[in-house]
Structure 1
Amino acid sequence: MEEIIKIKETCLYIKDLEAARDFYHNKLGLEVIHYDRGRHVFFRAGSSVLLCFNPDDSKYKDSPPPHYAEGNQHYAFEVSRENYETVKEKIKALNIEIIDKLVWKSGQESFYFNDHEGNVLEFVPEGVWG
C-alpha cells in the first residue's frame, strides 16, 4: 500500500516489565509514555513507540485482540550517521555487550546487543537501507 508512511509501533513481549522500564528508560533513555504494572510499559523512541507487553496478560485480552510472542525478538533503532559511533560508545560505556556487527551493501555498519530478556536489538545509521 502506497499510503503507508512508516511503522508507528513496534512490540516486544517481556515478562519482567520493571526490568524493561529500567533498561529502556534508565539505560537507553527512552521516555516512558505509559506504565501499567504487570500488563505493559510503552516508550517513545523518536517518532515511534516501543510497546512492551507482558505476554501472560496480552495473550488473553479481548480488546485489542489477543497477541503474544515467545523467544528472542528483534528490532532496530535508527540514529544519524554522525551519531552512530557516539551511540556505540555509549552502549559500551553502559556495560552492554555488543554481540555482533554487520557491514551492509551500503558499506555502513550496524551493531547488535541484547536487552535484559535476550531480545536482539540493533542500532543502524540513517540511510543503511538506501
Structure 2
Amino acid sequence: MRDFSLCALGKTAANPVLSTIRYFRDEYEVHIKEKRCPALACKELIAYYIEPEKCQACLICLRDCPVEAITGDKKIAHVIDQEKCTKCGTCLEVCPPRFSAVTKLSGVKVPEPIRQKTEVVRK
C-alpha cells in the first residue's frame, strides 16, 4: 500500500495495522490459529457458561437475560443456550459474587449441559 499509493495519506493508512502486528503479533496469531481470545474481549471467540456446581438457582441471570437464552428453575441449576446467547455479558454481571457461577470461556469447548436436571442444594 505504501509503495503504490499516490498521496501521503494513502502511504500512511496502513501504519496502525502494521504497528499492532509488530507489537502484538502473538495475540494476532492466537486469534487466527487457535481461534481464541486471551483477553476474552472478542464476542466471536468467547462463550458464557454457568458452572452447575456453583449455580444456586437464584433466577437473577435467567430474569435479566435480554434474549432469554438461560433455562432453569428455582431449584434447578441454570444453563445457557449457546445458540441463543448474544454474548452481551449480562449474566456475568448480575451473578452474585458470592456464587461466581458464570464464567467466560475462549478456546475451549463449552461443556455439555448435564442431561438430568441438577437439583441445587443451597449453601
* TM exceeding 0.5: no
Give the TM-score category using the shorter length.
under 0.3
TM-score (norm 1): 0.27
TM-score (norm 2): 0.28
Determine which structure has the larger strand proportion and give its number.
1
